[in-house]
Amino acid sequence: MNKDTVIEKLQSEKFDLLIIGGGITGAGIALDAATRGLKTALIEKKDFAYGTSSRSTKLIHGGLRYLKQLEFGLVKEVGSERAVVHKLAPHLVIPEKMLLPLYEKRGLGSTLTSIGLRLYDWLAGVKREDQRKMLTRKQTLKQEPLLNPQDIKGGAIYAEYRTDDARLTIEIIKSAIARGATVNNYCEATDFIYSEGTANGVVVRSNLTDNSFVIQSTVIVNAAGPWVDVLREKDKSKSGKHLHLTKGVHIVVPHEKLPVTQSIYFDVGDGRMIFAIPRGRITYIGTTDTDYSGDLDNVHADKPDAEYLIRAVNLTFTNVNLTLNDIESSWAGLRPLIHEEGKGASELSRKDEIFESTSGLISIAGGKLTGYRKMAERVVDLVVERSFDERELKSCLTGSILLASSDFKGYNEVIRYRQTIFEKLKRHGLQSHVGELVSNFGKQCDDILDRFEKITESDAEIRLMKAQLDYCIKMEMVKTGSDFFVRRTGLLYFDLPLLTKVMEPCFQTMAIQFDWSDARLSEEKNEMKRLIDQALNFKR
Ligand SMILES: Cc1cc2nc3c(=O)[nH]c(=O)nc-3n(C[C@H](O)[C@H](O)[C@H](O)COP(=O)(O)OP(=O)(O)OC[C@H]3O[C@@H](n4cnc5c(N)ncnc54)[C@H](O)[C@@H]3O)c2cc1C
């Protein structure tokens, strides 16, 4: 992953397929295309998963609420994909039972919920032992004693998976590179180059050096998420359907402030549902869904967003009484949905759609993290059909390509592996880090612990973080502080106290490894300070 070699390759070779955008959609397309035998390149203007793919609810889910919108096809596809993505990375896509409380005066009734969940299980082909279970009022309150008993009439438990969206994206990117794709972050497509009206090149600016160069490719795919229409405008093909961006916010509180025993999906009383998801030392809550027309590169939670989520929590749980002061972090992302006349934010379909322009540019938008593989398959099928039909190419193989150097045979093996890592960490008093470390890195923990052994550093937590940093610089194209603290480790969202402790020593390591000047180092520190301030923006 030497960056000079990658840029040299991008400039000097002609590709079959160039993908613009290193979110989950672009990553999935790169892996699919490379494994079929296409000469594939991908560029990302900032870091992989910088856009929506690090700011989701972080669930691999079938989208229960889409049943209400009668989106059976979507639920069937993404619902079935859950088990596939779990199999590909069982340490990172983790089974999570979801509790759905039912109320006398809000939400769906028990009978409709029971039928809906049965349909959900059936459409997604959920295994019998994981199928939905209806609960009485008493069982529901026993399952989650924090629930406000007033108005509760029962509940249901059903199966989903939780993940880390940014880590899933980077693992798919790494797999694409391992299968021959040429990939670089901090490379922005600034313009298209045409030959007889067909787009067959892209002008690229390196956002770390300000140098520009050209990449040539037979087919170009625009997988730029919320920026899809910006590129369609450059291509002069933004006509007909267009994006409708909606903002979704999550807030993070220490787990002891909202000590739910499992993930809960609850009715807010205004027709919307939100999640409360425990993750290690915190619980996160979200999401909102409001129209967005602001700066695409500066999306953050505002006070009304945070207050809405806090109100919903305080209505649902007793003796919790969250306030703005309890919020430790937050994130906000944009859903790149397809506009439908007369429909509001929450009513818009989550289905993906492909647009083909007269210049040959293929754009893809909409969809879900969960459905990335199927979206990629459709795009690569189209690319092959349009331009490489005569070639002997393999068919889509991504359903069996394990991610993250994983050879886990199933989730039980992950649990056993976690125990061995726990024992190793315990020797250094670091056992509380086992959950995040194994779910973030899977079997790659072995490599990180080898690096740990070689680092001289008296504080064990800093030493472990430096080992992860070294791994991420060498193996995951980390180039800036936020790449590491936000998207490789999630510290900004999930462990702000640890971030505060390790940031300075990690920056010192980065300054040496990257030969940063004092000015560059202080830019990096200022950027992290800005991101921390932004995560707590509504407290000002
Ligand atoms: C609040 C919220 C919660 C969600 N929760 C879930 C969930 O729990 N489960 C689920 O399945 N889905 C969920 N989703 C949906 C899911 O997150 C998105 O569908 C998905 O992440 C979109 O990925 P993407 O790759 O299309 O876009 P992005 O992740 O935004 O990637 C696009 C990338 O293109 C890059 N780019 C833009 N312009 C250029 C350029 N000119 N040159 C180079 N690169 C460029 C950007 O920097 C960006 O990294 C959620 C979405 C939101 C907003």
For the beta carbon of residue 212, count every other beta carbon within 10 angstroms: 13
Calculate how far, in angstroms, residue 28's C-alpha sits from the geometric centre of ligand 1.
12
Residue 515 clears pLDDT 90, i.e. is over it: yes
- The residue whose CA is least distant from atom 4 of ligand 1 is 56
DSSP string, 72-129: HHHHHHHHHHHHHHHHH-TTTSEEEEEEEEEESSSS--HHHHHHHHHHHHHHHT--GG
CA 284/CA 271 separation, integer angstroms: 21
Q: What is the pLDDT of residues 210-263, one digit of tens each?
A: 899 999 999 999 999 999 999 999 999 988 889 999 999 999 999 999 999 999
Question: Could you read off the pLDDT of 287-342 as tens digits, one per residue?
Answer: 999 999 999 999 999 999 999 999 999 999 999 999 999 999 999 999 999 887 77
Contacts of 391 (CB under 8 A, 6+ apart): 37, 384
Q: Does pLDDT of 2 surpass 70?
A: no
Mean per-residue pLDDT of the chain: 94
Condensed to tens digits (0 to 9), the pLDDT of residues 487-503 reads 999 999 999 999 999 99
**12 vs 214: CA distance, rounded Å:** 9
% of the chain surpassing 90 pLDDT: 82
Which residue has a Cα nearest atom 37 of ligand 1? 224
pLDDT tens digits, 25-65: 999 999 999 999 999 999 999 999 999 999 999 999 887 77
Closest atom of ligand 1 to 287 CA is: 1
Q: Please tell me the distance between residue 336's alpha carbon and the centre of ligand 1 in angstroms.
A: 7
CA of 104 to the centre of ligand 1 (A): 37
Three-state secondary-structure class, residue 462: helix
Residue 515 identity: D
CA angle at 352 for the pair 349 and 357, rounded to the nearest 5°: 120
The CA 391 to ligand 1 mean position distance, Å, reads 32
Å from CA of 49 to ligand 1 middle: 7
Contact 219/258 with Cβ under 8 angstroms? no
Residue with tokens 């787009």: 199
Q: What is the pLDDT of residues 185-213, one digit of tens each?
A: 999 999 999 999 999 999 999 999 989 99
- Quick: pLDDT tens for 92-147: 999 999 999 999 888 777 888 888 888 888 888 888 888 999 999 999 999 999 99
Closest to 231 (Cα-Cα) out of 176, 178, 270, 189: 189
CA of 189 to the centre of ligand 1 (A): 17
Ligand 1 centre distance from Cα of residue 25 (Å): 7
| Distance (Å, whole) CA 258 – CA 279 | 11
The predicted model scores a pTM of 0.97
- Ligand 1: residues whose CB is within 6 Å? 20-26, 43-46, 50-53, 55-59, 61, 188-189, 223-227, 231, 248, 287, 333-336, 367-370
According to the model, what pLDDT value does residue 1 have?
A: 57
Ligand 1 atom 26: the closest Cα is on which residue? Answer: 225
Question: Which atom of ligand 1 is the closest one to the Cα of 78?
Answer: 11
Given a contact cutoff of 8 angstroms between Cβ atoms, the answer to whether 380 and 38 are in contact is yes
Ligand 1 centroid – CA 516 distance (Å): 30
SS3 162: strand
Q: Assign 67 a pLDDT band (cuts: 50, 70, 90).
A: confident
> What are the backbone dihedrals phi and psi of residue 473, each rounded to the nearest 5 degrees, phi first?
-70, -45
Shortest-distance atom of ligand 1 to CA 367: 19
- The predicted pLDDT at position 3 comes to 67
Ligand 1 atom with least separation from CA of 247:
53
Mutate to test the pocket of ligand 1, among 10, 57, 217 (most ligand atoms within 8 A of CB): 57
The mean pLDDT of 382-403, rounded to a whole number, is 96
Chain segment 411-449, per-residue pLDDT in tens:
999 999 999 999 999 999 999 999 999 999 999 999 999
Give the pLDDT confidence of 345-364 residue by residue, as tens digits.
777 778 899 999 999 999 99
